[in-house]
Structure 1
């Protein structure tokens, strides 16, 4: 076999050091700044907003690959400074290190226009107030010439990556690239509701947002679904401020596609901030669901470093822990204040009936400060008299029946309510009223001063158990209930090993599991709060959590998943027949439990139908 003759490529060590050509330097920088058409749109929008624009027009062709035009009505650029605008590291935003450390403008690096011009055909046209005409400069040749145009600046970018075809091959389809561009534009629109935006794609207007209030802009950009299911946030602590809108847990999404966080008006992707918000939702949102939110953090610019990455989408905080705690507690307080409103939203107002003051007074229970909400969907559509069970399941977000019958733990329903229908005064004293009966063994029907209350008994009991177990675990005082007859079951080697490895954690959780043989486990005790639950199923679920997360994480960062598992396995199940006394006991415990309006998976636990709503269904008074 003959060797292949080839000319050897000189190694780096054998090459002499040379200064790179300016064009190559710009193209290297463009690799960090201009990743795709959306990157170009972002940089041009930031420049336009920094220039004081009140109206922006964005035109895209073929997803921005063929053409991107961003026109603003800002202050414009002096004619003599147009060549400088296309020079690398030339900017009007900062002058010194001190200004860099306290920068409030969106742009400041002086790289964007030069980088874009190095990988595309760029024309910059600008005119200042009082100038006789606009002036255009060619990004490739630097030639200046008179042009038509009003006050402001227009940047026309054509044929992106025309001179670097290899980069162009990495771009996606036209619709995908347009989607990324539109997402960037939405971020800017959310950050600056005081600016009007108009977006065209292939000659067709696809979006137009007039100057509006923040709430109006959020509604226009994210849609009515978010507008009808969010909570306003306005928190202040010393120099920190957090404002915006947090989506209700009941309106969570399967993707993290409606999460917008702005720091001093700049959209950022920051793991610290994302974790803080997620942690605030942990008590009411589990599994693979994601909250939706638009949040604006304001703080002195000296406390945040925005010069972390050329894309300026990452930041670094001087006091990261303090920022995390502030955001976490601000969002958590907002969710806690809204809890108990029965799914209330910012857009929908509480029922017009008289206020309710629970018998237990103004306790920590959020039900004490909110009147039940009439669900908007019930107001918008007429329901047939014979409502099928599937429709009720859809109303409560239930995908399927909960599971096999299980006895309700006696301790959870120790409080008894009056089984007889209470008089009007009693109904005012209890926000959730008094039970009338059960529907299909799943829902409790109760009467209160406003009308009819529907309660998902499993979801409600799940929240009660969750909060009780969380308090006991937090105090490290989980009461234990020994089983009169230990429950034995077949176990695989992994489960056996998990028991032997995590005995201390199991004991802290209130479980006593014994290894009887290489294939047999025995449950000898379970937490007293979960008395009556399926001991075998409960033990297997806890062992699965310990195996997946580890003992220490289960007791710290994964505690919410574990508590959710325990509560779900122990809550009263579908088709469990309850007496009126048991139903009223559950209602009273809901009124005494924080966040009782949602189960720990984020589903609502109760809804209110007022007498007026019922009158509408039956066309009374018409």
Structure 2
């Protein structure tokens, strides 16, 4: 018996075309921004170099997209409004898709739920127009038109008024449309796009010139802001038929939410959990809790290696080899960030100068590095030598008073082009003041040395491996057979991190050894967490993150403490090692280790410059 229609025998019916189109519209057109996305992508596929978008009432009353693309003939217009009619593919190979659109559903779906009018002209032909409202199509009529197409969508969802109840405010819908246009603008830097809302231009991006990367960087400066490009590192890597380019911001230039993370696959903006998870993994142990990286990444590959036909909205993709894609993103980010040298974001200096001006509010965009960190108590036993001398340090830390250092011998020992300059003083037994060629640097001695010790410990652990400690009684973890096979497939990787597991019959696995650094360990909980990561992201860095957390705590205990007075030689040695150590711009907890003030800015602060 049918619980939805009791006492009735279910009857199979063929839905009429209008109803089918309205159902399809629910998948393709979720809100006005979805309609804008489909129409702009059609314009890009038509070879447009200029696209003008206009909306009213957040797109609920009007969406108009005009382009200078190839246009359509009068005979093409009725076909364009038919379901599954498209010029993008011929249907012979759904894994060789090189266009934005290919499903042939957008225009008929929009015509089923709104009032749609298309006016178009191809070169050397007369213009034509066609209208459809609520699925009812009108005949084609001649019309005056420029080369290209103009698509007008009025009264979105008038044919399905229940959907209107789920629309947000005009302001929220306008913001969603603007975000959509910005993402498409980042994907196509050589195309001009403008967005007008209720008669006011709210976004404009003119076509960029130059080589591809130069055009991308100029477009990102326009869309993401100059601060982002000034504080970003170029990403360029290639492996296994995949090519990654883009810009990734320094860890000290981070955001309070994941709003500045954009990924394009073969030029298509996507929201993919695998790739965004890889982006987060690339910044492991470099961000403070609650902070998120900012990056724009472009992944290119042969269309045969990625399936874009996963969802009608085409916002998700599926890779033939997901681990290759994830591994490329993680390794490229880590390599680029490690090679950035002693570099901190320029916004830190701006925030420092703003703090000197009592009347100016502190900027919130790139603040928020305060966090309470209290190392876990208890003795930590390890085979790593915390007392290994730091290169350049002459023994322990001298108990010399804070002072201004003007030793010419020390100046001669410091390279003139040293990025972090020459130490001049120590303030409050924690902050080193160094003079550079064009300003001064303030260094947090504890945070800086903590990162140096942490990187040394990680290098030693990577070279000698993570020692495992045999369990007196192996811990048996009962799993489903599929989960057991999945965790055993990465047993070799886990063994290199000190976690040794073996099959124990059925779906059970036996934990023979655990990483010695972790002490008492709930192996069953850890293995299930790793399995959750594998299900969600296809990979897991959970065990590595726990080991790194212990190394970080050890580095915190083994580094020079705040309140320790240092000599000029010791401070300069610390600065030189910071310059040679990857990721030294932030401590283990994501806080900045130093800030730089340019001499020009300092002079303006004192009124010595205009």
- Superposed pair shares fold, TM > 0.5: yes
Q: How does 1:265-284 map to 2 (within 5 A)?
A: 265-284=267-286
Conservation of the 8 A alpha-carbon contact between 2:258 and 2:294: yes
Conservation of the 8 A alpha-carbon contact between 1:427 and 1:449: no
Question: Would the alpha carbon gap of residues 587 and 223 (structure 1) be closer, same or farther in structure 2, given more than 3 Å must change?
Answer: closer
Question: Would the alpha carbon gap of residues 12 and 148 (structure 1) be closer, same or farther in structure 2, given more than 3 Å must change?
Answer: farther
Question: Would the alpha carbon gap of residues 133 and 185 (structure 1) be closer, same or farther in structure 2, given more than 3 Å must change?
Answer: same
Alpha-carbon distance, 1:169 to partner: 0.8
- Equivalent of residue 228 in structure 1, options 224, 227, 230: 230
Question: Would the alpha carbon gap of residues 179 and 608 (structure 1) be closer, same or farther in structure 2, given more than 3 Å must change?
Answer: closer
Per-residue displacement from partner, 1:206-240 (whole Å, max 9, x unpaired)?
A: 11211112222111111222132212223334632
Indicate whether 1:253 and 2:255 are aligned: yes
Alpha-carbon distance, 1:588 to partner: 4.6
Report what 2:414 is aligned to: 427
Indicate whether 1:440 and 2:436 are aligned: no
Question: Would the alpha carbon gap of residues 12 and 81 (structure 1) be closer, same or farther in structure 2, given more than 3 Å must change?
Answer: farther
Report what 1:520 is aligned to: none
Report what 2:26 is aligned to: 31
Conservation of the 8 A alpha-carbon contact between 1:427 and 1:448: no
| Whole-angstrom distance in 1 between the partners of 2:154 and 2:177 | 15
| Whole-angstrom distance in 1 between the partners of 2:453 and 2:173 | 48
| 1:461 aligned counterpart, secondary structure | helix
Question: Would the alpha carbon gap of residues 9 and 439 (structure 1) be closer, same or farther in structure 2, given more than 3 Å must change?
Answer: closer
Alpha-carbon distance, 1:274 to partner: 1.3
Question: TM-score scaled to structure 1, two decimals?
Answer: 0.75
Per-residue displacement from partner, 1:392-423 (whole Å, max 9, x unpaired)?
A: 9999965389889x9xx865668535997335
Q: How does 1:224-373 map to 2 (within 5 A)?
A: 224-237=226-239, 239-343=241-345
Question: Would the alpha carbon gap of residues 311 and 382 (structure 1) be closer, same or farther in structure 2, given more than 3 Å must change?
Answer: closer
| Whole-angstrom distance in 1 between the partners of 2:595 and 2:251 | 15
Indicate whether 1:142 and 2:142 are aligned: no
Q: How does 1:165-180 map to 2 (within 5 A)?
A: 165-180=161-176
Q: Which runs of 5+ in 2 are unaligned?
A: 209-214, 378-385, 399-404, 468-510, 532-539
Alpha-carbon distance, 1:176 to partner: 1.1
Alpha-carbon distance, 1:269 to partner: 1.2
| Whole-angstrom distance in 1 between the partners of 2:371 and 2:20 | 60
Question: Would the alpha carbon gap of residues 85 and 549 (structure 1) be closer, same or farther in structure 2, given more than 3 Å must change?
Answer: closer
Q: Which runs of 5+ in 1 are unaligned?
A: 1-7, 346-374, 480-501, 514-538
Conservation of the 8 A alpha-carbon contact between 1:235 and 1:243: yes
Question: Would the alpha carbon gap of residues 559 and 113 (structure 1) be closer, same or farther in structure 2, given more than 3 Å must change?
Answer: farther
Q: How does 1:32-71 map to 2 (within 5 A)?
A: 32-71=27-66
- Equivalent of residue 103 in structure 1, options 94, 97, 101: 97
Question: Which deviates further from its counterpart, 333-342 or 114-123?
Answer: 333-342
Per-residue displacement from partner, 1:579-615 (whole Å, max 9, x unpaired)?
A: 5455345335434532222223333322445667767
Conservation of the 8 A alpha-carbon contact between 2:126 and 2:142: no
Report what 2:206 is aligned to: 210
Report what 1:416 is aligned to: 393
Indicate whether 1:377 and 2:350 are aligned: yes
Per-residue displacement from partner, 1:123-179 (whole Å, max 9, x unpaired)?
A: 111111122333333352232222232111111111111121211111111111111
Alpha-carbon distance, 1:458 to partner: 2.2
- Equivalent of residue 575 in structure 2, options 587, 590, 594: 587
| Whole-angstrom distance in 2 between the partners of 1:546 and 1:252 | 29
Question: Would the alpha carbon gap of residues 219 and 393 (structure 1) be closer, same or farther in structure 2, given more than 3 Å must change?
Answer: closer
Question: Would the alpha carbon gap of residues 104 and 620 (structure 1) be closer, same or farther in structure 2, given more than 3 Å must change?
Answer: same
| 2:544 aligned counterpart, secondary structure | coil
| Whole-angstrom distance in 1 between the partners of 2:206 and 2:132 | 32
Alpha-carbon distance, 1:202 to partner: 1.2
| Whole-angstrom distance in 2 between the partners of 1:391 and 1:402 | 23
Question: Which deviates further from its counterpart, 434-443 or 166-175?
Answer: 434-443
Question: TM-score scaled to structure 2, two decimals?
Answer: 0.76
Question: Would the alpha carbon gap of residues 424 and 586 (structure 1) be closer, same or farther in structure 2, given more than 3 Å must change?
Answer: closer
| Whole-angstrom distance in 2 between the partners of 1:9 and 1:610 | 72
Question: Would the alpha carbon gap of residues 47 and 379 (structure 1) be closer, same or farther in structure 2, given more than 3 Å must change?
Answer: same
Alpha-carbon distance, 1:555 to partner: 3.2
Per-residue displacement from partner, 1:528-553 (whole Å, max 9, x unpaired)?
A: xxxxxxxxxxx9xx9xx999979997
Per-residue displacement from partner, 1:290-340 (whole Å, max 9, x unpaired)?
A: 111111111111111111110111111112111212222222222122132
Alpha-carbon distance, 1:459 to partner: 1.6
Per-residue displacement from partner, 1:413-450 (whole Å, max 9, x unpaired)?
A: 68535997335431118664554332123311234666
Indicate whether 1:469 and 2:457 are aligned: yes
Question: Would the alpha carbon gap of residues 394 and 128 (structure 1) be closer, same or farther in structure 2, given more than 3 Å must change?
Answer: closer
| 2:107 aligned counterpart, secondary structure | helix
Report what 1:596 is aligned to: 584
Indicate whether 1:201 and 2:178 are aligned: no
Report what 2:116 is aligned to: 122
Conservation of the 8 A alpha-carbon contact between 1:138 and 1:144: no
Indicate whether 1:460 and 2:448 are aligned: yes
| Whole-angstrom distance in 2 between the partners of 1:169 and 1:294 | 34
The number of equivalent residue pairs is 530
Question: Would the alpha carbon gap of residues 106 and 13 (structure 1) be closer, same or farther in structure 2, given more than 3 Å must change?
Answer: farther
Question: Would the alpha carbon gap of residues 250 and 198 (structure 1) be closer, same or farther in structure 2, given more than 3 Å must change?
Answer: same
Q: How does 1:517-536 map to 2 (within 5 A)?
A: none
| Whole-angstrom distance in 1 between the partners of 2:64 and 2:271 | 26
| 1:227 aligned counterpart, secondary structure | helix
Q: CA RMSD, aligned part only?
A: 4.1
Alpha-carbon distance, 1:63 to partner: 0.7
| Whole-angstrom distance in 1 between the partners of 2:223 and 2:423 | 42
Conservation of the 8 A alpha-carbon contact between 2:234 and 2:248: yes
Conservation of the 8 A alpha-carbon contact between 1:239 and 1:300: yes
Per-residue displacement from partner, 1:98-121 (whole Å, max 9, x unpaired)?
A: 2x2111000000011111111111
| Whole-angstrom distance in 2 between the partners of 1:413 and 1:301 | 50
